[in-house]
Amino acid sequence: MEIALVGIGKIAVDQHVPAIAQSPDWDLSATVSRNGSVSGVPAYTDLDRMLEDRPDIRVVSLCLPPVPRFEYAKAAIKARRHVMLEKPPGATLSECQELAELAEKHRVSLYATWHSRQADMVPAAKAWLADKDLRYLKITWRENVRQWHPNQDWVFEAGGLGVFDPGINALSILTEILPDPVHLTSAELHFPGNRETPIAATCRFSHPAGADVSLELDWLEPGEPKWTIEAETEQGRMLLENGGGKLTIDGRIVDEHDGLAGEYPRLYAQMAQLVRRGGIDMDLSPLRHVADAFLLGKRVTAPAFDW
């Protein structure tokens, strides 16, 4: 199937272009980006123009930051194209709902992707937790914003989520692997004095059986990133590391894979299936937790941040 990639920036170049290139399902037939392009692929700077010129391209994958992405998604759906959204699926919950309703109305597929759910050991972690009695779960997501979002000011502008941009990846795994839903009960958000989004955060969650569930996010980690979920149950301990790439149960490594490697190829394989069978895949539970943190979270002023 022919696909167009919109917003040729960091994640498009790092992950989407290679994943499409190695996929048997897709041909990258156009890009839409004001500045970026992909060598050998017809490049547009305007989405409406591409949609008009290329009726053969039935699928559009949007890699823009969340705030500008909504108008692009709306335009593509109204032009009856199937749409794949980077995470988070929107800047607000209402926006996402509107896109889902629009996709239903225009009978196109819409896929709100959560790349971290595709990490190698996430299914095994989910299977292990399925019949366990949870006592304690702690998410620690610490990384260096200067490494992962170099000079991307949008992450610190309203709607850019700040440290919840990576934090929502952890929440996408949490909401995938836990058999019982949790809800946020308190949060502390650290906003640099000169920025509109938090650079660090802690959150606590209520679990139906009373387990102690918490999240710690930090964007000023100087060393190697730490993307870890540790769980203690009545029946044993689980440690999910490398953002879902490595799983250890009761001190024994179950398996270990290289970070992001398989995530985007799996997303594109799923998009191909979704387009073939039709329908909407939009789970908003990770974004709902982030919205709750912004609703209920206590705001603390942190030192100013500059790149």
Residues that bind ligand NAP (CB under 6 A): 7-12, 33-36, 63-66, 68, 86-87, 115, 148-149, 152, 154, 165
At closest approach, how far in Å is the CB of 224 from ligand NAP?
A: 15
226 a catalytic residue: no
Nearer of residues 33 and 228 to ligand NAP, judged by Cβ: 33
User: What single-letter amino acid sits at 93?
Assistant: L
- Residue 86: count other Cβ atoms within 10 Å of its Cβ: 23
Catalytic residue among 10, 74, 78, 87: 87
Grouping H, G, I as helix, E, B as strand and the rest as coil, residue 215 is: strand
Grouping H, G, I as helix, E, B as strand and the rest as coil, residue 77 is: helix
Nearer of residues 74 and 204 to ligand NAP, judged by Cβ: 74
At closest approach, how far in Å is the CB of 10 from ligand NAP?
A: 4
Q: What residues pair up with 124 in beta bridges, in sequence order? A: none
**Dist CA 35 CA 288 (whole Å):** 33
- The answer to whether the beta carbons of residues 2 and 50 sit under 8 Å apart is no
Give percent helix, percent strand, percent coil of the chain, each to the nearest 5.
35, 30, 35
Residue nearest to ligand NAP (CB): 9
Grouping H, G, I as helix, E, B as strand and the rest as coil, residue 240 is: strand
Q: Does residue 305 come out as left (phi exceeding 0), alpha (psi in the -120 to 50 range) or beta?
A: beta
100-120: buried (b, 16+ CB within 10 Å) or exposed (e) per residue?
bebbeebebbbbbbbbbbbbb
At closest approach, how far in Å is the CB of 265 from ligand NAP?
A: 14
- Residue 234: count other Cβ atoms within 10 Å of its Cβ: 9
Nearer of residues 37 and 214 to ligand NAP, judged by Cβ: 37
At closest approach, how far in Å is the CB of 230 from ligand NAP?
A: 23
User: What single-letter amino acid sits at 176?
Assistant: E
**Dist CA 110 CA 168 (whole Å):** 20
Nearer of residues 44 and 128 to ligand NAP, judged by Cβ: 44
At closest approach, how far in Å is the CB of 152 from ligand NAP?
A: 4
Nearer of residues 137 and 166 to ligand NAP, judged by Cβ: 166
Positions marked catalytic: 87
